[in-house]
Structure 1
Amino acid sequence: MKETIQANIGSAAFTLDRDAYTLLKDYLDDIRSRLPNDDTETLDDIERHFAEIFHERITSPMQVVTLEMTRTAIDRMGSPADFGEKHASAAAATPPRGLRRSCTDRALAGVCGGLAEFFGFDSLLVRIVTLLLILCGGLSVWIYLILWVIVPEAQQQTSQPNQNNR
């Protein structure tokens, strides 16, 4: 079972699975960092083109945009490098990557979800490994509790892919 996200892309509503949303958001953010700050039309056009591509593949309003559909659309759109070089201010504005407890992918405190996001693993796999380590004595419950206390919680993002953070 995968988590889905409602997003407006090019002024059209879509339901995307979590992986597809993350991939598309990263792709659009990469392009945004390569465009001049005053160029809003290009990104809007790109989003509208993504909406057209998704509408070609989706046969029902209840159908979810998958990771495979998103990868296909990105392949059709081209590399973000085609839109120019990254601007220095955009690269500096990117926050440093750090370990955070997940706000959205949590079973208890978000520790395993945060570890999964940080290392790029599936959160279910991290939870299973953690449980096995606790049961086999390789990991103490105290370590989990300490991580719960010292690892800060990630800030919940309320923006959607079509909202420009300018």
Structure 2
Amino acid sequence: MTFESDKPREFTLSSSQKMIGGVCGGVAEYFGWDVNIVRLATVAATVVTGGTVALIYLAALMLIPRR
């Protein structure tokens, strides 16, 4: 496995793929996934966990830096 650089990628909120805060967009950009899949997984996980994932989303919104 080769990497483009030795510098680690920065994890930030997305400024182009945001609906609410850009957390799902940031995750999708970081891992190279489709943002709609991440959003659907977040909604499904929120329903399954009874809202715990929504609290994690809010914490990530406050803690992850913006670009």
With the shorter chain as reference, the TM-score category is 0.7 to 0.9
Show the 5 A alignment for 1:40-119.
96-119=8-31
Task: Determine the C-alpha separation between the residues in 1 that align with 2:47 and 2:9.
Answer: 31
Q: CA deviation at 1:139?
A: 6.0
- Asked which structure has the greater CA Rg, the reply is 1
Instruction: Flag the structure with higher strand content.
Output: 1
Question: Looking at both structures, which has the greater relative contact order when contacts are Cα pairs under 8 Å and sequence separation is at least 6?
Answer: 2
Q: In the alignment, is residue 130 of structure 1 matched against residue 30 of structure 2?
A: no
Code of the residue aligned with 2:26 in structure 1: it is: G
Q: CA deviation at 1:96?
A: 3.8
| CA spacing shift, 1:138–1:119, aligned 2, 3 Å | farther
Task: Determine the C-alpha separation between the residues in 2 that align with 1:100 and 1:139.
Answer: 23
Q: 1:5-51: CA deviations, max 9, x gaps?
A: xxxxxxxxxxxxxxxxxxxxxxxxx9xxxxxxxxxxxxxxxxxxxxx
* Structure 2 counterpart SS, 1:149: helix
Code of the residue aligned with 2:60 in structure 1: it is: L
How many residue pairs get matched? 63
Partner residue of 2:62? 149
Structure 2 unaligned runs (5+)? none
Task: Determine the C-alpha separation between the residues in 1 that align with 2:50 and 2:30.
Answer: 21
Code of the residue aligned with 1:152 in structure 2: it is: P
TM-score, normalised by the number of residues in structure 2: 0.82
Sequence identity of aligned pairs in percent? 33
**What is the RMSD of the two structures over their aligned residues, measured on CA atoms?**
2.0
TM-score, normalised by the number of residues in structure 1: 0.35
* Runs of 4+ that moved beyond 4 A: none
Q: CA deviation at 1:142?
A: 1.0
Q: 1:89-135: CA deviations, max 9, x gaps?
A: xx68xx64121100010010000000000011000000000000001
Partner residue of 1:39? none
